[in-house]
Chains A and B, each alone.
Chain A
Amino acid sequence: QSVLTQPPSVSGAPGQRVTISCTGSSSNIGAGYDVEWYQQLPGTAPKLLIYGNGNRPSGVPHRFSGSKSGTSASLAITGLQADDEADYYCQSYDSSLSDSYVVFGGGTKLTVL
């Protein structure tokens, strides 16, 4: 199982707001490591959506926002659109072993109703 825990699925109607949680522990998110978020549309490579907990790369709509608190992080999507239907992954860094390394959440499938 994944080091970071995400709900397997979330859903929402067009125009609504949804949030996706990412729960970690004291060796990753709680240790102060940044959280990144990726969107993976069906059959395509992941795309960086949020970096450094809440920063959007150029070209990512303001509808997408990220936050972090304690050992958890969240991705919020407002004004839900049909083409937001995708898998979303959180990513951070873990130092439970001798050195830090990249860890991903198990992914959340967003369904737009």
Chain B
Amino acid sequence: QVQLQESGPGLLKPSETLSLTCTVSGGSISGYYWSWIRQPPGKGLQWIGYIYYSGSIKYNPSLKSRVTISVDTSKNQFSLKLSSVTAADTAIYYCARGYGDGMDVWGQGTTVTVSS
């Protein structure tokens, strides 16, 4: 069965760039949409954006100016970059499979803290 695993630094300083990778195992990255979602401590979910395996992309308008999502089909991975981070970007970051028809497979999440 398909499993997702997020990886990347857990602690950043303000103004740095957040970089996370999601590795897809047990299945192919081809043929699906792949999303990033975050959850600030004690708060709800916020969709960051998605990438289709062929490269089509859509971002949350509120984050669009700072977000880049990319895919590497040869490694079965997709990635998130969020620039100029602040304390407000402190959250659990999840990667997930899907867009329409819901996000049906989720990673366990990785905590990213922004602090000076």
Q: Show the binding face of A for B, using Cβ within 8 Å.
A: 2, 34, 36, 38, 44-48, 50-52, 57, 89, 91, 97-99, 101-107
Contact = CB atoms under 8 A, between A and B. Distances in A.
B33 to A, nearest CB: 10
Contacts of B47: 91, 101-104
Contact residue range for chain B? 20 to 34
Given A2-B44, A103-B47, A107-B45, A47 B106 contact: yes
B107 A102 contact: no
Contacts, number: 61
Interface string B75-116: 000000000000000000010001111111011110000000
Nearest to A45: B106
B68 interface: no
B67 to A, nearest CB: 12
Contacts of B59: 101
A53 to B, nearest CB: 10
A97 B102 contact: no
